[in-house]
Chain A
Amino acid sequence: MIDIRFPLGLMFSIFGVILTIYGLATIGNHAMYATSLGVNVNLISGICTLIFGLVMLFFSDPVRKKLRKKS
């Protein structure tokens, strides 16, 4: 069977990248972040989501197998 950590990690990494880029692009857009109390939530959520996604990917079977082959 498929290791769920792989699609899970891949999806959240993509979300993380999208949000981080969007967060970086909107730095200084105070009007947009007025709703979120002045916090650039896209950037923060993006980085956290990306970390989560990468950790999941790292521990997924397909990635671990590849790493083992290399070493």
Chain B
Amino acid sequence: MDTKFALGGIDYLIMGVYFVFVLGIGWALKKYMKNASAFLEAGRSIPAWVAGLAFISTNLGALEVMGMTGSGLKYGMHTTHFYLIGAIPAMVFLALFMMRFYYGSKARSVPEYLKLRFNEKTRGLNAILFAIMTILASGIAMYALAILLENVLGWNFLVSLFASAAIVLAYTYLGGLSSAIYNEVLQFFIIIIGLLPMAILVMKDVGGWHGMQASLAPIVEAKGYAPDTWTTHWKYTGSASDNPFGVAWYGIFAGLGFVLAFGYWCTNFLIVQRAMAAESMTAARKVPLIGAIPKMFIPFLIILPGVASLVLLNDPAKGFALPLNDAGQPIYDYTIIMLLKQYLPAGVLGLGVTALLASFMSGMAGNVSAFNTVWTYDIYQSYIRPVTGNKEADDKHYLKVGRVATILGVLASIAAAFIASKFGNIMDFLQAIFSMINAPLFAVILLGMFWKRSTGNAAFTGLLAGFLIALLHHGLSVPEGATTLIKGGWIAPLITYPVEMAQNFWTAIYAFSAALLLTVILSLLAKRTKTDEELNGLVYSMTPRLDDSGVIWYKRPWFLAVIVGVMFFGLTILFW
């Protein structure tokens, strides 16, 4: 199957205009970057709606978009669990109960909150793991982008790699976090506008929702599932073997809905940083809620076309096919690429390709802008600076450090991309390992915020133990049919899961439970280390209630949360 796009002059024109604006925004923001806070925290001046769209856009990287469309094809509407139960409750919780501590504590990063609430070593552990994770993620995204450009546009791998790195470096170096956030908003709209024509045309082609349901029934039955399995998301979760996820409802609830979702949305600094850049406490609390509204509708744009492409694949008259890998298996991640190629003529195709490019770059920029903050405040300021000299460094100094960290972050990402191109499996493995830090981190932050009794040493041990338990479980379990040790079982394949998804869910559940249990037990065995006064602004019961009475009722976070809740339940029931 030929994956090459024949782009015309008009498509390159659109792409060119986009890059002019990306760099122009960085350039225009340059004069505002007077100190470290402006550069690394966007001066805490971003309006709620801008931060809200950036919040959701950071997560909407190209690997996510491509993966989700592929999952739509593989698992049907079950993939929407990632956008509903696997996101919305966590985002609402972050907004209503956690943002006030992140924002109000004056911590400049999630690791710094850990330092304020617990102790220095808990922060150090989290900061170092996070820094490695962001560089890996950004390197892998860079590598994937270069491969995609080579396969789809026929561009040279090295040229693509360095060109994309140079553009990302240019606009994050110039405008810091503000520039990253502004470009994420640009990217959000370009993804919607660039992919919408494809999403509408593919649904038109398969005869709308009902036409698609009718065409899918025999195909899905042939796979051994009930005829409407691909067009429902909760109906067949009574038992794990009835749905393609291979997970029953309680696994989805506990694994995805609770541990994975809360771990990702509530503790990942990459995400939380967007809300921490908001202009006020009320704005910061509204950011995740504003992001939640478009989040619920993104499945119509990227998952539904994937589900519909199962119809196309089974209808020879459509001439739709996926490229195959060396083992002769279809590459599901290319579903969206092939859909764009199938339906879009020159012109809108340029917009669609620009949307993908945009999402790759903002994924990288997001990681780089989170990395430079954690590096500057949590690693340099607390460990490196004190060693080099005790003189109190000023804000100008940290601005310079932040800028240098941006360059270092991009260079390290390029190095990671090269390692990925040589040893792709090792990078997949490392990323799987480092993705395990979120579940125990959530356990520790949850206890820190809502239980004044939890202590620093217990949190540190819980965090470390949770990570080790996750490693252990990964080493002892395999998804069925795994051919490499990267998927797990590198100690001994004792436990077998039907699919990789189930393995991930349970890894997260075990890691979370271990961290929670250990932190609770060790905290109870030790004396409290922080007084009530010290915990003011850091722990729920020690902090005065927020007074929203100065804000008109329809602008209050609670009201927005109710709207999000109604939409969430509506969509869940509609596509039950």
Contacts and interface: CB of A to CB of B under 8 A. Distances in A.
Nearest to A19: B347
A42 B347 contact: yes
B193 A52 contact: yes
A63 interface: no
A14 B342 contact: no
B193 A12 contact: yes
Interface residues of A, number: 29
Contacts of A27: none
A35 interface: yes
Nearest to B43: A1
B17 A18 contact: yes
B346 interface: yes
Interface in A1-27: 1-2, 4, 7-8, 10-12, 14-15, 18-19, 22-23, 26
A5 to B, nearest CB: 9
Contacts of A8: 185-186, 189
Dominant SS among interface residues on chain B: helix
B17 A15 contact: yes
A7 B25 CA distance: 8
Interface stretch (B126-134, B197-205, B326-334, B414-422): B197-205
Contact of B197 (A7, A32, A45): A45
Contacts of B63: none
Contact of B32 (A1, A35, A48): A1
A10 B344 CA distance: 24
A7 B201 contact: no
A1 B189 contact: no
A14 B351 CA distance: 12
B346 A32 contact: yes
B14 A18 contact: yes
B28 A18 contact: no
A23 B347 contact: yes
B343 interface: yes
B188 to A, nearest CB: 10
A2 B29 contact: yes
Interface in B9-64: 10, 13-14, 17-18, 21, 24-25, 28-29, 32, 43, 45, 50
Nearest to B204: A37
A33 B45 contact: no
Contact of A45 (B32, B178, B205, B348): B348
A71 interface: no
B197 A22 contact: no
Nearest to B47: A4
Interface in B341-372: 342-348, 351
B178 A1 contact: yes
Nearest to B8: A22
Given A19-B351, A37-B204, A7 B345 contact: no
Given A18-B14, A19-B14, A44-B197, 7 more contacts: A4-B186, A11-B186, A19-B348, A35-B343, A36-B344, A37-B205, A52-B193
Interface of A: 1-2, 4, 7-8, 10-12, 14-15, 18-19, 22-23, 26, 32-33, 35-37, 39, 41-42, 44-46, 48-49, 52
For the complex of A and B, 5 pairs with smallest distance between CB atoms: A42-B347, A11-B21, A22-B347, A41-B197, A41-B348
Interface of B: 10, 13-14, 17-18, 21, 24-25, 28-29, 32, 43, 45, 50, 178, 182, 185-186, 189, 193, 196-197, 201, 204-205, 342-348, 351
